[in-house]
């Protein structure tokens, strides 16, 4: 996320380009590289890291890039569901990391099992926007029961 996005209409276009490269283009490249093997073996799980910040216009480039990543995930999901390849967008929430900062709401450990949930779901759970914090304090098995 760019350091400053306030006011968001004055964010330098290069910040948008950089942010899209990291949050949209890089995941697309990874999907393109790994998807053929997943299709060949008729099984695969793709997990994109999204953010609820996408609904915050004051976060400009970052919010737009996460919205684009969610759209990409939903579009791929429609085409891949019948092939037992899932793709989901999972939001870790506000985490105490370099991005979230020390005032973030949650410790890193709270995203488990929510962030790995997408690797274990059935083929029916695809194209979903999942909030990792919804599964906070749950075992992986309990989280799977909640989502499936």
Does residue 62 lie in a domain region?
A: yes
The question of whether 62 is a catalytic residue gets the answer yes
Residue 45 lies in a domain: yes
Domain harbouring 68, CATH code = 3.40.50.720
In a domain, residue 101? The reply is yes
Question: In the predicted model, what is the mean pLDDT of the chain?
Answer: 86
Share of the chain above pLDDT 70, in %: 88
In a domain, 3, yes or no: no
Note the pLDDT tens digit of each residue in 76-135: 998 898 899 999 999 887 777 776 667 767 777 788 889 899 999 998 899 998 999 899
- Choosing from 8, 62, 76, 135, which is the catalytic residue? 62
Q: Mapped to the 3 state alphabet, what secondary structure does 50-104 carry?
A: CCHHHHCHHHHHHHHHHHHHHHHHHHHHHHHHHHCEEEEEEECCCECCCCCCCCC
Residue 1 belongs to some domain of the structure: no
Give residue 57's domain range: 8-147
The answer as to whether 27 is a domain residue is yes
Q: Based on the structure, what is the number of domains in the chain?
A: 1
Residue at 87 is within a domain: yes
Please report whether residue 34 resides in a domain: yes
């Amino acid at each position: 996320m760019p350091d400053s996005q306030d006011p968001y209409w004055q964010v330098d276009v290069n910040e948008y380009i950089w942010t899209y490269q990291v949050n949209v283009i890089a995941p697309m490249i990874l999907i393109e590289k790994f998807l053929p093997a997943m299709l060949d073996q008729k099984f695969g799980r793709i997990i994109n890291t999204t953010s609820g910040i996408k609904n915050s216009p004051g976060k400009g480039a970052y919010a737009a890039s996460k919205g684009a990543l969610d759209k990409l995930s939903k579009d791929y999901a429609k085409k891949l569901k019948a092939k037992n390849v899932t793709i989901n967008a999972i939001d870790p929430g506000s985490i105490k990391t370099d991005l979230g900062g020390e005032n973030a709401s949650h410790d890193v450990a709270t995203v488990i099992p929510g962030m790995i949930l997408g690797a274990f779901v059935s083929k029916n759970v695809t194209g979903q926007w999942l909030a990792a914090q919804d599964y906070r304090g749950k075992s992986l098995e309990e989280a799977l029961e909640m989502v499936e």
